[in-house]
Amino acid sequence: MTNQKEITIAVASLFSQGVAKPLAAPGGIITISRNTFTKKVEAGNNAWIASMRDSSPTRVKSSRNHPSETEEKNSWIVNHPSALNMFEQIVSGSKGKQIVMFLDYDGTLSPIVEDPDRAFMTSEMREAVRDVARYFPTAIVTGRCRDKVYSFVRLAGLYYAGSHGMDIKGPSKSSRYRKGHQGVLFQPASEFLPMIDEVSKVLEERTKSIPGAKVENNKFCVSVHFRCVEEKMWATLVEQVRSILSDYPKLKLTQGRKVLEIRPTIKWDKGKALEFLLESLGYANSADVLPVYIGDDRTDEDAFKALRNRGQGLGILVSKVPKETNASYSLQEPSEASI
């Protein structure tokens, strides 16, 4: 077991430099019930819309300082990629434990922009990720299609877990992180490929009439982006998506930031992907590992929860505003870092 106190001290010194704020008292754990979201699904379309509104604030009113920036573009870590490099400093406090980095993409490494195809990371952020990966095994864990996220990140030597962890690929050649490692390819939902393809086409066809709706086939899951859909059309969109999904009982609907996600019902998520990657790195039951997961969205909560269940590691939520979370730390706008 990780000595939580030592880690807390190491992290506390890191965060005292203004990088992040603990969400609980040092060493403390926040426990949040995740039933709320499930109940919303059962409650019908209205609850969905409320939830969409809740998690997807539309453009923030222009401020004097940043007249052209949206709320998402103000994401602290996106504007301060150097924060990633500061994790080097955990090493000294981690007492020789192997740090493994897990990074979400949208909203964590890149801003949430209107066109999801243009959610590019800055070259500064790319450099920061490259630096991190130089020191620690590093994985990008995303809801996006793996190839898509690779086209954004463009760094070899990393692990890429696309489709919410349902499409995992490691560095193809023997890894510098693990002797004799022959690369990883893991696709626990491969039987769903034809179904996902089909539902993606149906969704595309039947959301055409909703201006701004964008369907993205992420290979093992589908995203319906509503960041450009007027709020008055959200009800129609949810109704349409839910009605299509009623023909696909093996698929489920979840929600992220400005996106509806259609996924196989298999018990696999970013948390399971994290466990899988730790295992493939040889740290399944190791006390000598310190996994660090940084993410901004509901789907990242599964990974935060996995860390809690392991009793080791650091979950860090990127958020501008206080949120219910299983993470232990947050990175947010310094001016609002006052939980």
- The residue range among 70-78, 216-224, 258-266, 290-298 that interacts with Mg ion, by the rule CB under 5 A, is 290-298
Q: Smallest distance, Å, CB 107 to Mg ion?
A: 4
Which one, 8 or 75, has the nearer CB to Mg ion? 75
Q: Among residue numbers 145 through 174, which ones bind Mg ion (CB under 5 A)?
A: none
Nearest residue to Mg ion by CB is 107
Identify the burial level of 247 via C-beta atoms within 10 angstroms of its C-beta, where 0-12 means exposed, 13-18 middle and 19 or more buried.
Answer: exposed
Q: Among residue numbers 77 through 106, which ones bind Mg ion (CB under 5 A)?
A: 104, 106
111 binds Mg ion (CB under 5 A): no
Q: Smallest distance, Å, CB 265 to Mg ion?
A: 22
Distance between CA 109 and CA 121 in Å, rounded?
6
- The residue range among 17-25, 46-54, 288-296, 319-327 that interacts with Mg ion, by the rule CB under 5 A, is 288-296
Which amino acid is located at 124 in the chain? E
Which one, 237 or 317, has the nearer CB to Mg ion? 317
Q: Smallest distance, Å, CB 96 to Mg ion?
A: 31
Identify the burial level of 291 via C-beta atoms within 10 angstroms of its C-beta, where 0-12 means exposed, 13-18 middle and 19 or more buried.
Answer: buried
107 binds Mg ion (CB under 5 A): yes
Q: How many residues does the chain have?
A: 339
Which one, 177 or 329, has the nearer CB to Mg ion? 329
Distance between CA 39 and CA 47 in Å, rounded?
9
Question: Among the options 54, 104, 115, 269, which is catalytic?
Answer: 104
Largest CA distance in the chain: 57
Which residues lie below 8 Å from residue 303, measured CB to CB, with a gap of 6+?
A: 102, 141, 269, 270, 271, 273, 274, 293, 295, 315
216 binds Mg ion (CB under 5 A): no
Q: Smallest distance, Å, CB 173 to Mg ion?
A: 29
Does residue 133 contact residue 87 with C-beta atoms inside 8 Å? Answer: no
Q: Smallest distance, Å, CB 324 to Mg ion?
A: 16
Out of 296, 312, 329, 332, the only residue in the binding site for Mg ion (CB under 5 A) is 296
Does the annotation count 104 as an active-site position?
A: yes
What DSSP string describes 6-43? HHHHHHHHHHTTTS-EESSSTT------SHHHHHHHHH
Which amino acid is located at 137 in the chain? P
Q: Smallest distance, Å, CB 295 to Mg ion?
A: 6
Which one, 72 or 296, has the nearer CB to Mg ion? 296
Out of 72, 269, 275, 297, the only residue in the binding site for Mg ion (CB under 5 A) is 297
- Tally of CB atoms within 10 A around 123: 9
Which residues lie below 8 Å from residue 223, measured CB to CB, with a gap of 6+?
A: 116, 143, 144, 215, 216, 256, 259, 260, 261, 262
Residues that bind Mg ion (CB under 5 A): 104, 106-107, 296-297
* Residues with catalytic roles: 104
